[in-house]
Amino acid sequence: MRKSAVRLVVGMLLALAVCSSAWAAGAAVPAQDATTWHVGVGGESPDHALQAQAFLPTKITINEGDMITWTTNPEFVHTVTFLSGGQASPVVAPEGNIVIQPAATAFPSGGPSYDGTGLVNSGLLEGKGKTFSLTFTKAGTYDYVCLLHPGMAGTIAVQAAGSGYPMTQAQIDAQANVELYDKLGQANQDLQSAQLGSKANGNGTTSYTVVNGAGGNQASVLRFLPVNLNVKAGDSVTWLGNDPHEVHTVTFYDPAGKVPDFIVPQPQPSGPPKLIVPHAAPENDTAVDSKDLYNSGLLAPGQSYTFTFPTPGVYTYVCVVHAPQQMFGTITVSAGQPASLPRTATGGSALPLLPLLAGAIVLMLLGILIRRTPMRSVP
Ligand SMILES: [Cu+2]
Protein backbone atom coordinates (compact mmCIF):
# COMPACT_ATOMS: atom_id res chain seq x y z
CA MET A 1 0.00 0.00 0.00
CA ARG A 2 2.70 2.44 0.98
CA LYS A 3 4.65 1.66 -2.21
CA SER A 4 1.66 2.38 -4.45
CA ALA A 5 0.95 5.63 -2.60
CA VAL A 6 4.54 6.71 -3.20
CA ARG A 7 4.17 5.80 -6.88
CA LEU A 8 0.98 7.88 -7.08
CA VAL A 9 2.65 10.95 -5.58
CA VAL A 10 5.69 10.58 -7.84
CA GLY A 11 3.36 10.16 -10.84
CA MET A 12 1.39 13.29 -9.91
CA LEU A 13 4.59 15.30 -9.49
CA LEU A 14 5.86 14.06 -12.88
CA ALA A 15 2.55 14.92 -14.54
CA LEU A 16 2.66 18.41 -12.99
CA ALA A 17 6.22 18.87 -14.23
CA VAL A 18 5.26 17.80 -17.77
CA CYS A 19 2.17 20.03 -17.80
CA SER A 20 4.02 23.08 -16.51
CA SER A 21 6.85 22.66 -19.01
CA ALA A 22 4.31 22.26 -21.83
CA TRP A 23 2.55 25.39 -20.55
CA ALA A 24 5.84 27.23 -20.50
CA ALA A 25 6.53 26.14 -24.11
CA GLY A 26 3.18 27.65 -25.13
CA ALA A 27 1.44 24.36 -26.02
CA ALA A 28 -2.25 25.04 -25.37
CA VAL A 29 -3.33 21.43 -25.94
CA PRO A 30 -1.87 18.54 -23.90
CA ALA A 31 -0.20 16.09 -26.29
CA GLN A 32 -2.23 13.09 -25.08
CA ASP A 33 -5.45 14.74 -26.37
CA ALA A 34 -4.21 15.11 -29.94
CA THR A 35 -5.55 12.73 -32.58
CA THR A 36 -4.02 11.89 -35.95
CA TRP A 37 -6.49 11.71 -38.83
CA HIS A 38 -5.99 10.18 -42.28
CA VAL A 39 -7.03 11.74 -45.60
CA GLY A 40 -6.44 10.22 -49.07
CA VAL A 41 -4.91 12.09 -52.01
CA GLY A 42 -6.35 11.12 -55.41
CA GLY A 43 -7.22 7.68 -56.69
CA GLU A 44 -7.13 5.83 -60.01
CA SER A 45 -8.14 2.85 -62.12
CA PRO A 46 -5.57 0.00 -62.26
CA ASP A 47 -4.36 1.12 -65.74
CA HIS A 48 -3.90 4.73 -64.47
CA ALA A 49 -6.27 6.03 -67.21
CA LEU A 50 -9.01 7.24 -64.85
CA GLN A 51 -7.97 9.64 -62.11
CA ALA A 52 -9.87 11.12 -59.18
CA GLN A 53 -8.50 14.66 -58.86
CA ALA A 54 -9.67 15.03 -55.27
CA PHE A 55 -8.75 14.89 -51.61
CA LEU A 56 -10.69 12.03 -50.09
CA PRO A 57 -12.83 12.94 -48.32
CA THR A 58 -13.02 16.51 -49.58
CA LYS A 59 -13.84 17.88 -46.12
CA ILE A 60 -13.08 16.70 -42.60
CA THR A 61 -13.56 18.18 -39.13
CA ILE A 62 -10.86 17.92 -36.47
CA ASN A 63 -9.82 19.71 -33.28
CA GLU A 64 -7.06 22.16 -32.45
CA GLY A 65 -3.84 20.25 -31.83
CA ASP A 66 -4.83 17.34 -34.09
CA MET A 67 -2.63 16.19 -36.94
CA ILE A 68 -3.66 15.12 -40.44
CA THR A 69 -1.59 12.69 -42.46
CA TRP A 70 -2.35 12.67 -46.18
CA THR A 71 -1.42 9.55 -48.17
CA THR A 72 -1.37 9.33 -51.97
CA ASN A 73 -3.46 6.52 -53.51
CA PRO A 74 -2.43 6.60 -57.20
CA GLU A 75 0.80 6.22 -59.17
CA PHE A 76 0.45 9.88 -60.01
CA VAL A 77 1.63 13.21 -58.61
CA HIS A 78 -0.13 15.78 -56.42
CA THR A 79 0.64 18.41 -53.80
CA VAL A 80 -1.10 19.28 -50.51
CA THR A 81 -0.87 23.08 -50.36
CA PHE A 82 -2.34 25.68 -47.99
CA LEU A 83 -2.17 29.11 -49.66
CA SER A 84 -3.82 31.09 -46.80
CA GLY A 85 -5.40 33.40 -49.40
CA GLY A 86 -2.14 33.80 -51.35
CA GLN A 87 -1.51 33.13 -55.03
CA ALA A 88 -0.78 29.62 -56.30
CA SER A 89 2.63 29.15 -57.93
CA PRO A 90 2.55 28.32 -61.64
CA VAL A 91 3.17 24.66 -62.51
CA VAL A 92 5.77 25.73 -65.08
CA ALA A 93 7.26 29.16 -65.75
CA PRO A 94 9.75 30.70 -68.19
CA GLU A 95 13.23 31.42 -66.86
CA GLY A 96 15.39 33.12 -69.49
CA ASN A 97 15.05 31.03 -72.65
CA ILE A 98 14.06 27.81 -70.87
CA VAL A 99 10.96 26.66 -69.02
CA ILE A 100 11.26 25.33 -65.48
CA GLN A 101 9.05 23.96 -62.74
CA PRO A 102 9.41 26.53 -59.92
CA ALA A 103 10.88 25.29 -56.61
CA ALA A 104 7.86 26.84 -54.81
CA THR A 105 5.69 24.16 -56.45
CA ALA A 106 8.06 21.22 -56.39
CA PHE A 107 9.65 21.28 -52.93
CA PRO A 108 8.25 21.33 -49.36
CA SER A 109 7.86 24.61 -47.50
CA GLY A 110 6.19 25.75 -44.26
CA GLY A 111 5.04 23.06 -41.83
CA PRO A 112 5.05 20.93 -39.69
CA SER A 113 2.25 22.99 -38.11
CA TYR A 114 -0.34 25.39 -39.50
CA ASP A 115 -2.14 28.27 -37.79
CA GLY A 116 -4.06 29.48 -40.84
CA THR A 117 -1.35 31.82 -42.14
CA GLY A 118 1.48 31.57 -44.65
CA LEU A 119 2.27 29.05 -47.36
CA VAL A 120 2.49 25.39 -46.38
CA ASN A 121 3.31 23.06 -49.26
CA SER A 122 4.06 19.33 -49.27
CA GLY A 123 6.04 19.63 -52.51
CA LEU A 124 5.52 16.94 -55.16
CA LEU A 125 4.02 13.75 -53.71
CA GLU A 126 4.92 11.45 -56.60
CA GLY A 127 3.80 7.82 -56.64
CA LYS A 128 1.60 5.69 -54.42
CA GLY A 129 1.93 5.74 -50.62
CA LYS A 130 3.69 9.12 -50.22
CA THR A 131 2.68 10.98 -47.04
CA PHE A 132 2.55 14.52 -45.70
CA SER A 133 1.59 15.47 -42.13
CA LEU A 134 0.48 18.76 -40.63
CA THR A 135 -0.66 19.73 -37.11
CA PHE A 136 -3.42 22.36 -36.85
CA THR A 137 -2.83 24.75 -33.98
CA LYS A 138 -5.75 27.19 -34.35
CA ALA A 139 -9.53 26.82 -34.78
CA GLY A 140 -10.87 27.92 -38.17
CA THR A 141 -11.86 26.63 -41.61
CA TYR A 142 -8.99 26.17 -44.02
CA ASP A 143 -9.07 25.48 -47.75
CA TYR A 144 -6.22 23.73 -49.49
CA VAL A 145 -5.36 22.75 -53.06
CA CYS A 146 -3.17 20.63 -55.28
CA LEU A 147 -0.90 23.04 -57.17
CA LEU A 148 -0.73 20.73 -60.21
CA HIS A 149 -4.46 20.11 -60.72
CA PRO A 150 -6.73 23.19 -60.80
CA GLY A 151 -10.05 22.30 -59.16
CA MET A 152 -8.52 19.73 -56.82
CA ALA A 153 -9.36 21.33 -53.47
CA GLY A 154 -10.26 20.33 -49.93
CA THR A 155 -11.33 21.85 -46.62
CA ILE A 156 -10.21 21.25 -43.03
CA ALA A 157 -12.59 22.51 -40.33
CA VAL A 158 -10.69 22.89 -37.05
CA GLN A 159 -12.83 23.08 -33.90
CA ALA A 160 -11.74 24.24 -30.46
CA ALA A 161 -9.71 21.69 -28.52
CA GLY A 162 -11.86 19.18 -26.67
CA SER A 163 -14.90 19.48 -29.02
CA GLY A 164 -16.85 16.38 -30.00
CA TYR A 165 -15.95 14.89 -33.39
CA PRO A 166 -18.75 14.53 -35.98
CA MET A 167 -17.17 11.40 -37.55
CA THR A 168 -14.89 8.54 -36.60
CA GLN A 169 -11.93 7.62 -38.81
CA ALA A 170 -13.91 4.58 -40.06
CA GLN A 171 -16.77 6.86 -41.14
CA ILE A 172 -14.29 9.23 -42.79
CA ASP A 173 -12.75 6.30 -44.71
CA ALA A 174 -16.20 5.16 -45.86
CA GLN A 175 -17.00 8.70 -47.02
CA ALA A 176 -13.66 8.81 -48.87
CA ASN A 177 -14.56 5.59 -50.70
CA VAL A 178 -17.97 6.91 -51.77
CA GLU A 179 -16.33 10.05 -53.16
CA LEU A 180 -13.56 8.06 -54.89
CA TYR A 181 -16.00 5.81 -56.76
CA ASP A 182 -18.14 8.82 -57.66
CA LYS A 183 -15.12 10.55 -59.29
CA LEU A 184 -13.91 7.39 -61.06
CA GLY A 185 -17.47 6.72 -62.29
CA GLN A 186 -17.54 10.25 -63.70
CA ALA A 187 -14.19 9.66 -65.43
CA ASN A 188 -15.47 6.40 -66.91
CA GLN A 189 -18.49 8.25 -68.35
CA ASP A 190 -16.13 10.79 -69.92
CA LEU A 191 -14.10 7.90 -71.40
CA GLN A 192 -17.19 6.17 -72.83
CA SER A 193 -18.65 9.34 -74.35
CA ALA A 194 -15.44 10.56 -76.04
CA GLN A 195 -15.87 10.64 -79.82
CA LEU A 196 -13.49 10.94 -82.75
CA GLY A 197 -14.38 13.90 -84.95
CA SER A 198 -13.95 13.72 -88.73
CA LYS A 199 -14.65 16.08 -91.61
CA ALA A 200 -14.21 15.35 -95.32
CA ASN A 201 -12.31 18.07 -97.17
CA GLY A 202 -12.88 19.19 -100.78
CA ASN A 203 -9.50 17.82 -101.90
CA GLY A 204 -10.33 14.24 -100.82
CA THR A 205 -8.45 14.37 -97.51
CA THR A 206 -10.04 14.07 -94.08
CA SER A 207 -9.51 16.20 -90.97
CA TYR A 208 -9.81 14.23 -87.74
CA THR A 209 -10.12 15.48 -84.16
CA VAL A 210 -8.73 13.20 -81.43
CA VAL A 211 -9.80 13.75 -77.81
CA ASN A 212 -6.63 14.83 -76.00
CA GLY A 213 -7.66 13.87 -72.47
CA ALA A 214 -11.17 14.34 -71.11
CA GLY A 215 -12.53 15.25 -67.71
CA GLY A 216 -14.07 17.73 -65.28
CA ASN A 217 -15.67 17.68 -61.81
CA GLN A 218 -12.50 16.32 -60.19
CA ALA A 219 -12.23 13.43 -62.65
CA SER A 220 -9.75 12.94 -65.50
CA VAL A 221 -9.16 10.52 -68.36
CA LEU A 222 -5.43 10.40 -69.15
CA ARG A 223 -5.77 8.95 -72.66
CA PHE A 224 -5.80 9.96 -76.30
CA LEU A 225 -9.17 8.82 -77.64
CA PRO A 226 -9.00 6.81 -79.82
CA VAL A 227 -5.60 5.46 -78.79
CA ASN A 228 -4.87 4.15 -82.31
CA LEU A 229 -6.13 5.92 -85.42
CA ASN A 230 -5.86 4.88 -89.09
CA VAL A 231 -5.72 7.66 -91.67
CA LYS A 232 -4.69 8.16 -95.31
CA ALA A 233 -1.64 10.05 -96.51
CA GLY A 234 -2.50 13.75 -96.65
CA ASP A 235 -5.01 13.64 -93.80
CA SER A 236 -4.64 15.93 -90.80
CA VAL A 237 -5.32 15.25 -87.13
CA THR A 238 -6.14 17.86 -84.50
CA TRP A 239 -5.69 17.08 -80.79
CA LEU A 240 -8.14 18.93 -78.56
CA GLY A 241 -8.42 18.46 -74.79
CA ASN A 242 -11.21 19.69 -72.53
CA ASP A 243 -10.04 18.55 -69.08
CA PRO A 244 -9.79 21.60 -66.78
CA HIS A 245 -7.47 19.69 -64.42
CA GLU A 246 -4.74 18.78 -66.90
CA VAL A 247 -2.21 19.93 -69.47
CA HIS A 248 -0.99 17.48 -72.11
CA THR A 249 1.44 17.32 -75.00
CA VAL A 250 1.29 15.50 -78.34
CA THR A 251 4.88 14.42 -78.93
CA PHE A 252 5.90 12.13 -81.80
CA TYR A 253 9.18 10.27 -81.28
CA ASP A 254 11.04 7.15 -82.36
CA PRO A 255 9.67 4.29 -80.21
CA ALA A 256 13.01 2.45 -80.62
CA GLY A 257 14.58 5.23 -78.52
CA LYS A 258 13.78 6.84 -75.20
CA VAL A 259 10.41 8.32 -74.26
CA PRO A 260 10.95 12.12 -74.08
CA ASP A 261 11.21 13.45 -70.51
CA PHE A 262 8.73 15.86 -68.95
CA ILE A 263 11.11 17.14 -66.25
CA VAL A 264 14.89 16.91 -66.16
CA PRO A 265 16.54 17.78 -62.80
CA GLN A 266 19.65 19.93 -63.19
CA PRO A 267 21.89 19.90 -60.05
CA GLN A 268 22.75 23.31 -58.59
CA PRO A 269 25.85 24.31 -56.55
CA SER A 270 23.58 24.48 -53.49
CA GLY A 271 19.95 23.80 -52.67
CA PRO A 272 17.48 21.72 -54.64
CA PRO A 273 18.02 20.96 -58.34
CA LYS A 274 16.56 23.17 -61.05
CA LEU A 275 13.67 21.33 -62.75
CA ILE A 276 13.89 21.87 -66.51
CA VAL A 277 10.83 21.24 -68.73
CA PRO A 278 12.55 20.49 -72.06
CA HIS A 279 9.47 19.99 -74.29
CA ALA A 280 7.24 22.83 -73.09
CA ALA A 281 7.20 24.61 -76.47
CA PRO A 282 6.43 23.28 -80.00
CA GLU A 283 9.38 21.59 -81.78
CA ASN A 284 10.00 20.64 -85.43
CA ASP A 285 7.23 21.34 -87.96
CA THR A 286 3.65 20.10 -88.14
CA ALA A 287 4.01 17.63 -91.06
CA VAL A 288 4.95 14.30 -89.48
CA ASP A 289 6.86 12.26 -92.07
CA SER A 290 9.68 10.54 -90.12
CA LYS A 291 10.47 9.16 -86.68
CA ASP A 292 11.97 12.49 -85.55
CA LEU A 293 10.57 14.38 -82.58
CA TYR A 294 7.53 16.49 -83.46
CA ASN A 295 6.07 18.19 -80.44
CA SER A 296 2.99 20.31 -79.76
CA GLY A 297 4.41 21.71 -76.51
CA LEU A 298 2.19 22.00 -73.44
CA LEU A 299 -1.50 22.30 -74.33
CA ALA A 300 -3.78 23.89 -71.73
CA PRO A 301 -7.47 22.87 -71.55
CA GLY A 302 -9.24 24.01 -74.73
CA GLN A 303 -5.98 24.47 -76.67
CA SER A 304 -5.51 22.35 -79.79
CA TYR A 305 -2.66 21.39 -82.10
CA THR A 306 -2.78 19.99 -85.64
CA PHE A 307 -0.35 17.67 -87.45
CA THR A 308 -0.63 16.44 -91.05
CA PHE A 309 0.67 13.06 -92.26
CA PRO A 310 1.96 13.21 -95.85
CA THR A 311 3.85 9.88 -95.78
CA PRO A 312 2.58 6.31 -95.10
CA GLY A 313 3.93 4.74 -91.93
CA VAL A 314 3.18 4.08 -88.27
CA TYR A 315 3.84 7.09 -86.03
CA THR A 316 4.06 6.74 -82.25
CA TYR A 317 3.36 9.58 -79.87
CA VAL A 318 3.13 10.28 -76.17
CA CYS A 319 1.99 12.94 -73.74
CA VAL A 320 5.31 13.70 -72.02
CA VAL A 321 3.41 14.82 -68.90
CA HIS A 322 1.53 11.53 -68.56
CA ALA A 323 3.91 8.93 -69.97
CA PRO A 324 4.09 7.25 -66.50
CA GLN A 325 0.29 6.81 -66.74
CA GLN A 326 0.70 5.22 -70.21
CA MET A 327 -0.77 8.08 -72.25
CA PHE A 328 0.52 6.87 -75.64
CA GLY A 329 -1.03 6.71 -79.11
CA THR A 330 -0.33 5.76 -82.72
CA ILE A 331 -1.33 7.18 -86.08
CA THR A 332 -1.15 4.60 -88.88
CA VAL A 333 -0.97 6.30 -92.26
CA SER A 334 -1.82 4.21 -95.35
CA ALA A 335 -1.29 5.20 -98.98
CA GLY A 336 -4.67 4.76 -100.61
CA GLN A 337 -6.76 2.35 -98.64
CA PRO A 338 -9.87 3.88 -97.02
CA ALA A 339 -9.25 4.90 -93.43
CA SER A 340 -12.41 3.17 -92.21
CA LEU A 341 -11.70 -0.32 -93.66
CA PRO A 342 -12.30 -2.80 -90.84
CA ARG A 343 -9.40 -4.89 -89.60
CA THR A 344 -9.35 -8.59 -88.75
CA ALA A 345 -8.90 -9.75 -85.18
CA THR A 346 -5.22 -10.49 -85.80
CA GLY A 347 -4.82 -6.83 -86.63
CA GLY A 348 -2.45 -7.56 -89.51
CA SER A 349 -4.32 -7.67 -92.80
CA ALA A 350 -7.51 -6.23 -94.22
CA LEU A 351 -10.64 -8.39 -94.70
CA PRO A 352 -10.11 -11.16 -97.34
CA LEU A 353 -11.90 -9.28 -100.14
CA LEU A 354 -10.21 -11.11 -103.06
CA PRO A 355 -11.44 -14.63 -102.18
CA LEU A 356 -14.94 -13.21 -101.61
CA LEU A 357 -14.89 -11.49 -105.03
CA ALA A 358 -13.60 -14.67 -106.75
CA GLY A 359 -16.37 -16.71 -105.09
CA ALA A 360 -19.02 -14.24 -106.25
CA ILE A 361 -17.74 -14.36 -109.86
CA VAL A 362 -17.81 -18.20 -109.87
CA LEU A 363 -21.42 -18.20 -108.59
CA MET A 364 -22.42 -15.62 -111.22
CA LEU A 365 -20.86 -17.69 -114.03
CA LEU A 366 -22.58 -20.84 -112.79
CA GLY A 367 -25.93 -19.02 -112.81
CA ILE A 368 -25.33 -17.83 -116.36
CA LEU A 369 -24.44 -21.35 -117.56
CA ILE A 370 -27.49 -22.92 -115.92
CA ARG A 371 -29.93 -20.33 -117.31
CA ARG A 372 -28.14 -20.39 -120.72
CA THR A 373 -28.91 -16.69 -121.19
CA PRO A 374 -26.72 -14.79 -123.63
CA MET A 375 -23.90 -12.81 -122.04
CA ARG A 376 -23.97 -9.04 -122.28
CA SER A 377 -20.90 -6.92 -121.99
CA VAL A 378 -20.74 -4.81 -118.89
CA PRO A 379 -19.46 -1.26 -119.37
CU1 LIG B 1 -1.24 14.10 -70.64
CA of 246 to the centre of ligand 1 (A): 7
Q: Judge whether residue 200 has pLDDT over 90.
A: yes
Q: How far apart are CA 241 and CA 150, in angstroms?
A: 15
d(CA 29, CA 31): 6
Dist. CA 320 → ligand 1 center (Å): 7
Average pLDDT value for residue range 152-168: 97
CA distance linking residue 369 with residue 282, whole number of Å: 66
Query: According to the model, what pLDDT value does residue 343 have?
Result: 52
Whole-angstrom distance, CA of residue 92 vs CA of residue 2:
70
**Ligand 1 center to residue 44 CA distance, Å?**
15
378 CA from centroid of ligand 1 (Å): 55
Ligand 1: distance of its center to the CA of 198 in Å? 22
Q: What is the pLDDT of residue 9?
A: 40
DSSP H or E run through 305: strand 304-308
CA of 323 to the centre of ligand 1 (A): 7
Cα(239) to centroid of ligand 1, in Å?
11
- Report the percent of the chain where pLDDT is more than 70: 80
Report d(CA 323, CA 317) in Å as an integer.
Answer: 10
Give the 3-state secondary structure of residue 148.
coil
**Span between the terminal Cα atoms of the chain, in Å:** 121
Mean pLDDT of the chain: 86
Q: Tally the C-alpha atoms within 13 A of residue 84's C-alpha that lie toward its C-beta.
A: 10
User: Ligand 1 centroid vs 206 CA: distance in angstroms?
Assistant: 25
Residue 250 Cα to ligand 1 midpoint, Å, equals 8
Q: How far does residue 260's CA lie from ligand 1's centre (Å)?
A: 13
Gap from CA of 345 to ligand 1 centroid (Å): 29
Query: Is pLDDT at 171 greater than 70 in this prediction?
Result: yes
The alpha carbon of 338 and the centre of ligand 1 are apart by a number of angstroms equal to 30
Instruction: Inform me whether the pLDDT recorded for 279 exceeds 80.
Output: yes
pLDDT of residue 104: 92
**What domains sit in the chain, N to C, each tagged with a CATH number?**
22-189 (2.60.40.420), 195-338 (2.60.40.420)
How far away, in angstroms, is 300 Cα from ligand 1 center?
Answer: 10
CA 306 to chain centre: 23
Per-residue pLDDT for 340 more than 80?
no
Measured in angstroms, how far is the CA atom of residue 177 from the centroid of ligand 1? 25
Q: Is residue 291 predicted with pLDDT exceeding 80?
A: yes
298 CA to centre of ligand 1 in angstroms: 9
- b/e for 250-265, b at 16 or more Cβ within 10 A? bbbbeeeeeebebbee
Report which residue type is found at 83. L
Average pLDDT, integer, range 81-102: 95
Q: What count of Cα atoms within 13 Å lies in the side-chain half-sphere of residue 167?
A: 17
**What digits encode the pLDDT tens for the residues 231-250?**
999 999 999 999 999 999 99
d(CA 143, ligand 1 centre) in Å = 27
Distance 213 CA to ligand 1 centre (A): 7
Centre of ligand 1 from the C-alpha of residue 362, in Å: 53
Please provide residue 126's backbone torsions phi and psi, each rounded to the nearest 5 degrees.
Answer: -105, 120
Distance 210 CA to ligand 1 centre (A): 13
Tell me: pLDDT of 63 over 60. yes
Give me the residues paired with residue 333 across strands: 231, 313
- Please say whether the beta carbons of 71 and 103 come within 8 A: no
CA of 148 to the centre of ligand 1 (A): 12
Burial 33-62 (b: 16+ CB within 10 A, else e): ebeebbbbbbbbbeebbbbbbbbbbbbbbb
Provide the pairing of β-strand 113-114 with 131-136: parallel
Q: What is the pLDDT of residues 3-57, one digit of tens each?
A: 444 444 434 433 433 333 333 333 443 444 689 999 999 999 999 999 999 999 9
Q: How far is CA 89 from the centre of its chain?
A: 19
